[in-house]
Amino acid sequence: MITGNIFLIGFMGTGKSTAARELKKMLHMECMEMDDMIVERQGMPISQIFQKFGEAFFRDLETGLLVELKGKKNMIVSCGGGAVLRPENIGHMKESGKVVLLSATPQTVYGRVKNSTNRPVLNGNMNVEYIQELMEKRREKYEKAADIVIVTDGKTTGQVCDEIIRALEI
């Protein structure tokens, strides 16, 4: 039984947003997309936030949102792919819920994000090699933060969500 929040973390293109929307329906819980909330509050797309104010400013907004979420319960939160980069963010997540890591191979990720123009971290580097390199750099942080890990390659959203629910014993 879950009483806190469920945080979906993982690299870009691991299916966090899609799984969060499906879990919302399956579990009748509220859902928050961190990126969407930041975009709505700032009134501009992520690429523009990065361009105008820099990455550190965006990361501060992520931290602020995670602090806010400590006051909420029963929310499914789809985190931005870089939300684990600051150790304090992981602490905020752990204080208010369970952390679910979605994983995928660099090839799978590339297939899912290759047409995206709103992922500044991959600007000019939209290729499998770069994705693999960045994923390796972040791997330890993702794995350290995770309470459970779900591999998403070759699975439908329904299968991924069933596995999450089973693993969390909801």
What is the contact surface with ligand S3P in residues (CB under 6 A)? 12, 16, 35, 46, 80-82, 119-121
Kindly list the distances between the CA atom of residue 114 and the CA atoms of 13, 77, 117, 128, in Å, as whole numbers in the listed order: 9, 24, 9, 9
Q: Please state the closest distance from residue 155 (CB atom) to ligand S3P, in A.
A: 18
Q: Please state the closest distance from residue 88 (CB atom) to ligand S3P, in A.
A: 16
Q: Please state the closest distance from residue 131 (CB atom) to ligand S3P, in A.
A: 10
In terms of CB distance, is 137 or 166 closer to ligand S3P? 137
Closest-CA residue to 62 (of 121, 104, 136, 147): 121
Q: Please state the closest distance from residue 119 (CB atom) to ligand S3P, in A.
A: 5
Closest-CA residue to 32 (of 16, 11, 47): 16
In the block, residue with structure tokens 């691991």? 14
Residue 44 contacts by C-beta under 8 Å, 6 or more apart in sequence? 52
Helix or strand (DSSP H, E) at 63:
helix 55-69
